[in-house]
Amino acid sequence: MIRRTSLAWIVRSQERPPVIPLMGFPGVQINHTTLKQNGFNWGVQFWTLFELARRFQPDGIFTFMDLSVEANALGLPVTYPLHESPTVEYPLVKMEEDLQAFYHLDVLRDGRVRVFIETLRLMSQYLNILRGGYCIGPFTLAGLMIGATDVALATIENPDLLHKTLRFCTHVISRYAAALCQAGADIVAILEPTAVMLSPRQFREFSGQYVAQIVDSLEAMPVLHICGNTTHLLDEMVATGAQGLSLDSAVDLPAAARRVPEEVVLIGNINPTAVMLYETPANVYRATCDLLEAMAPHRNFVLSTGCDLPPETPLANIQAFMDAGHGRPLGATPEVAPEAGLSIVKAHPEAIMAAIESTWPTPSINS
């Protein structure tokens, strides 16, 4: 697959490491929306991301992180709390025959899938920074379909069913990821958190080879994200062909940088809870500066958080992270000026807000 550019080239062309925190959820504090509203309405989700981009001026921004999107499109039962991430309630696949019920489904016709595609379309139209989307990883989606415990057992007791499920998941994910690329995604991050339980050999067999197929199909720059301590999987993650590895705070990032090729970009990895959620702005600033100093010898680095930030993350802590990343003194940036962020948008904020509002349905007296 021919891609538009290389993530490593973009990173090396900058005077400082790009700063791209994974910060969709905390944006609900700015526009007083809920996670559920953002998950069901692309105008609301883009509004939230637009306000985050305007306020903090990152070098890139991702859509909301949601591991239930593809599972929901396949008909798995999902709960939608008002202020928490959606979750799959229980699996539906116990044997090969159960898979057949999913083969006729077109995930691109699902309403929540369209939310994320259309959000990216608005991002591409109005934001002048790197725009990223997410798709689930094949082993993680298989875990939702089969069950977390059963998918682990299947690597030993029922690999045939697991491989059939993984092939199906890879097809579904590739189709969704292609739609994200067509909508304007510069980066597509593959979220494969369930794979952290695998050994390197198991990862190669049950995740890596399928992730590589998705990576090969992408027009956007591919990134692989696995939560937790993935130090034992670094070589196999590189082998997928992903241009970037998004690593959690449990990974020693400078040590990882000494292991991976220079053309693979490392993304991370300030702790999203222990630091970003619970520390003071001064300590967030200090931790971020320490990471920047430790990664200074390595040009293949994007400053980010280890995972998506919790919704209640203090906005002052995000600002402290951004101040450190941009080389400013702590507190040097005002909260929001009327013309803040004009360099990162393609139209005046008033015009963008009018476009956002046009996506909201008009209430009907008969509805």
Residue 91 exposed, middle or buried by CB count within 10 Å (0-12, 13-18, 19+): buried
| Spatial separation of the C-alpha atoms in residues 280 and 71, rounded to whole Å | 37
Closest CA to 304 of 294, 318, 315, 293: 318
User: At residue 34, does pLDDT exceed 70?
Assistant: yes
Q: Is there a domain that residue 362 lies in?
A: no
Label residue 242 by pLDDT band (50, 70, 90). very high
Q: How far is CA 202 from CA 154, 155, 189, in A?
A: 11, 8, 21
- What is the predicted pLDDT for the residue at 207? 98
Tell me, yes or no, whether 365 lies in a domain: no
What is the average pLDDT across 151-166?
97
Percent of the chain predicted with pLDDT > 70: 94
Whether 366 is in a domain gets the answer no
Q: Is residue 364 part of a domain?
A: no
Strands 87-88 and 78-79, bridge-based pairing = antiparallel
Q: Which strands, in side-by-side order, build the sheet including 301-305? A: 60-62, 130-136, 187-191, 221-226, 244-247, 265-270, 301-305
Confidence band, pLDDT 50/70/90 cuts, at residue 331: confident
Task: Give residue 128's domain range.
Answer: 7-357
**Pair 95, 154: CB distance under 8 Å:** no
Q: How confident is the model at residue 334 (pLDDT cuts 50, 70, 90)?
A: low
**Token couple for 32:** 């007083």
| pLDDT, tens digit (0-9, with 9 covering 90-100), for 249-287 | 999 999 999 999 999 999 999 999 999 999 999 999 999
Contact (CB, 8 A) for 300 and 18: no
Q: What's the confidence (pLDDT) of residue 3?
A: 59
| Residue 312 predicted with pLDDT over 70 | yes
Nearest to 60 by CA among 112, 123, 1: 123
Kindly report, residue by residue over 174-202, the tens digit of the pLDDT: 999 999 999 999 999 999 999 999 999 99
Q: Where residue 278 sits, what CATH number does that domain have?
A: 3.20.20.210
Residue 336 has pLDDT above 70, yes or no: no
Residue 351 within any structural domain of the chain: yes
Report pLDDT for 17.
97
* pLDDT at residue number 335: 61
For the chain, the domain total comes to 1
For the segment 123-129, the average pLDDT, to the nearest whole number, is 97
Q: Is residue 124 part of a domain?
A: yes
Give the confidence band of 332 by pLDDT, cuts at 50, 70, 90: confident
**341 pLDDT exceeds 70?**
no
The overall longest dimension of the chain from CA atoms, in Å, is 63
Q: Where are the alpha helices (DSSP H) in 158-280?
A: 159-183, 200-203, 209-217, 234-239, 253-257
Give pLDDT, residue 339.
57
Residue count of the chain, please give it. Answer: 367
| DSSP code, position 79 | E
pLDDT at position 16 over 70: yes
Strands 265-270 and 244-247: parallel
φ/ψ of residue 189, rounded to 5: -95, 125
pLDDT at 86: 93
118 within some domain: yes
Mean pLDDT of 121-135: 97
Single-letter amino acid, residue 270 = I
User: Is 2 within the bounds of a domain?
Assistant: no
